[in-house]
Amino acid sequence: MTTDLLIVVLIGAGTYLTRLSFVAAFARSGVPGWMQAPLRYVAPAVLAAIVAPAVIAPIGAVDVTAANPRFLAGVIALLVAIRTKSVSWTIITGMAALWLLQALF
């Protein structure tokens, strides 16, 4: 249907413009000084905001008990991440812990 095509194209164009926005806007002038400090914290803030709910409230409600295997597996994985800084080891131990806990409970 033409309306559906139009919807998809509009979302595609809008998404591209969102991604391009500040990259294009600051290409000449550079990023304003007052924005430099906030931008340093985009990565840790966003990443933690994606990770925390996925671990602490994976099915909607906050659950930090043994009944939530993703919480325990997440804690184990975080310790491995801090200790090894290795993506591979964190995935291996995190997924292994999750499968083990899911099998146990």
Partner 1 sequence: MPSTTDVSNSPRSAFDDGVRSVVPLLVGVVPFGLILGVAAGNAAMGVGLAWSTSVIIFGGAAQLVTIELSNGGAAAAVIVATALVVNARHLMYSAALAEPFRDFPTGWRYGLPYLMTDQAFAVSITRYATTSDPVYRRWFYFGAGMGLWIPWQVTTATGALAGALIPESWSLDFAIPLVFMVLIIPALDRKPGIAAAIVGGVVAVTARDVPYRLGLIIAALAGIAAGVIAERRYAR
Does 96 participate in binding partner 1 (rule CB under 8 A)? Answer: no
> Which member of 30, 33, 65, 104 binds partner 1 (CB under 8 A)?
30
Does 56 participate in binding partner 1 (rule CB under 8 A)? Answer: yes
> Which member of 33, 65, 87, 104 binds partner 1 (CB under 8 A)?
87
**Separation of first and last alpha carbons in the chain:** 48
Could you count the other beta carbons within 10 Å of the beta carbon of residue 90? 19
Burial class (CB in 10 A: 0-12, 13-18, 19+), 73: buried
Least Å from the CB of residue 67 to partner 1: 15
> Which member of 68, 71, 72, 74 binds partner 1 (CB under 8 A)?
74
Least Å from the CB of residue 92 to partner 1: 9
Cβ atoms of 105 and 67 within 8 Å: the answer is yes
